[in-house]
Amino acid sequence: MVIEGNNEIFEKEVLNYEGKVLVDFNATWCGPCRMLKPVLDQVAANGKKIVAIDVDNDRDIAIKYNISSIPCLILFENGKEVKRSVGLIPINEIESLFEE
Amino acid sequence: MYDIVIIGAGIAGLTAAIYASRANKKVLIIEKQNYGGRIISAPHVKNYPGFLDISGVDLATNLYVQATSLGAELVFENAESIQNGINKKVITDKHEYSCKAIIIATGLDRRSLNIPGEKELVGKGVSYCATCDGNFYKDKVVAVVGGGKSAIEDAIYLSDIASKVYLISRKNLEEEVNKKNIEVITNYSVDKINSKDNIESIDIKSSNDSKNIKVDGLFVSIGYETSSEEFESVIELDDRGYIISNNTHTNLDGIFAAGDCCKKDLRQLVTAASDGAIAATEAIKYIEKNR
């Protein structure tokens, strides 16, 4: 399951998490974000950790990471940003974000 | 074992899933990219009966929710081949699925320019979907390649976001465009895309001239091509790659085709939906008969 995030969850599950976690910056009004959601659900069901952040609800996180376009996927490793992808991408590209 | 495996989650495939699920069939949809198919790039759909004006994304999302809430399953995988028999198989890049009937609804793929730099820069300035990626180009300069209706639509859509839009076509445009920040360049083709990390400029040329234009984004809107080659060894296609079907039946018993991938006269949302309904109904008949 994709974890629905907020400030507190972001700190615990992303910043203080040892390992890789993908953060999906999205908004309810963003069409491509909605289309990405079932794809992310499948990636999560396959065992990857994903946290979703609504940029309207958690504007401060979005500003901190300079999110200007969504959907935006950022891979964190041990709390640090290591990869970023903007726009609607197919499942293979999402999965390859987790690879070295 | 599924009753019906549907390849493609566009309008035809999702409609087939709705009809088959409502008949209590166990349905799997396999989609290589995103649900909705080509219609997601349309900002406004005004010719789908019952909707005065709906975005392609909203229409597709409604269909997706409708199909999955009825019990149809959807996996994001790439169907690479099919095997015929009483029990049939669809083989993807990740799994093998057994089923009693198959509906091919793979639609059409966007045509690409096939020029240097294009492939590498997808997501870094090159896009095939103005409504998906347009918002990244607020107050920037973009070019749209193509001379057909959808290229003109894309240019107009982008002109409300970007500061300037070049519309570059090899031929004259299908319709006239009058917008202050759209510059129409006809009888030129795009030759090369120049980049550092992101796109920086494009080289365009005509029969006797060439020039360089600085752009932040390039939207390719030059039509579509068939993508059913992976089934060519078993399914009969015409010389242009469209699946030959009769009332959605292909040359093989229990394998059906629906939507834009079929050889047909009119490719519209409503004919895709119609094909989906017919294919599901025919597939159900086939399953009942062979029980």
| Mean pLDDT (10-residue bins), chain A, 100 residues | 94 96 94 93 96 94 88 96 90 91
ipTM rounded to 2 decimals: 0.84
Q: Which residues contact A48 (CB under 8 A, 6 or more apart)?
A: A20, A22, A95, A98
Burial B143-164 (b: 16+ CB within 10 A, else e): bbbbbbebbbbbbbbbbebbeb
Per the CB < 8 A criterion, the answer to whether A55 and A18 are in contact is: no
Q: What is the pLDDT of residue B86?
A: 86
**What is the reported pLDDT for B66?**
98
Element (H, E) at A79: none
Chosen from B28, B33, B78, B94 to mutate, greatest number of chain A CBs within 10 A? B33
What pLDDT sits at residue B44? 87
Is A30 assigned a catalytic role?
A: yes
Task: Determine contact: A42 vs chain B, CB below 8 A.
Answer: yes
Phi and psi at residue A6, to the nearest 5°: -150, -170
- Is the CB of A27 inside 8 Å of chain B's CB atoms? no
In whole angstroms, give the CA distance from residue A17 to residue A57: 22
pLDDT tens for chain B, residues 1 to 291: 999 999 999 999 999 999 999 999 999 999 999 999 989 888 889 999 999 999 999 999 999 999 999 999 999 999 999 999 989 999 999 999 999 999 999 999 889 999 998 988 887 789 888 887 888 898 999 999 999 988 999 999 999 999 999 999 999 998 889 999 999 999 999 999 999 888 999 999 999 999 999 999 999 999 888 888 888 889 999 998 999 999 999 999 999 999 999 999 999 999 999 999 999 999 999 999 998
pLDDT at residue A31, rounded to an integer: 87
Q: Which residues of chain A neighbour B74 with C-beta distances below 8 Å?
A: 38
CA B191 – CA B42 distance, rounded (Å): 27
Q: Measured between CB atoms, which of B40, B77, B133 is closest to A35? A: B40
Cβ of A38 within 8 Å of Cβ of B74? The answer is yes
Q: Which domains does chain B have, with CATH numbers?
A: 2-110+224-289 (3.50.50.60), 119-220 (3.50.50.60)
Nearest to B76 among A32, A87, A91 (CB): A91
Measured in residues, chain B has a length of: 291
Q: What is the pLDDT of residue A45?
A: 95
State the DSSP H helix or E strand holding residue A93, giving kind and residue range, or none if neither: helix A91-97
Q: Which domains does chain A have, with CATH numbers?
A: 3-97 (3.40.30.10)
Give residue B121's pLDDT: 87
B8 closest CA partner among B264, B240, B260: B260
What is the per-residue pLDDT for B245? 96
| CB contact (8 A) between residue B132 and residue A69 | no
**Which residue is closest to B56 within chain A, CA to CA?**
A31
d(CA B47, CA B45): 6
Q: Which residues of A touch B40 (CB under 8 A)?
A: 31-32, 35
Residues in chain A closer than 8 A to B132 (CB atoms): 31-32, 87-88
Among B133, B154, B216, B260, the active-site one is B133
DSSP classification of residue A68: -
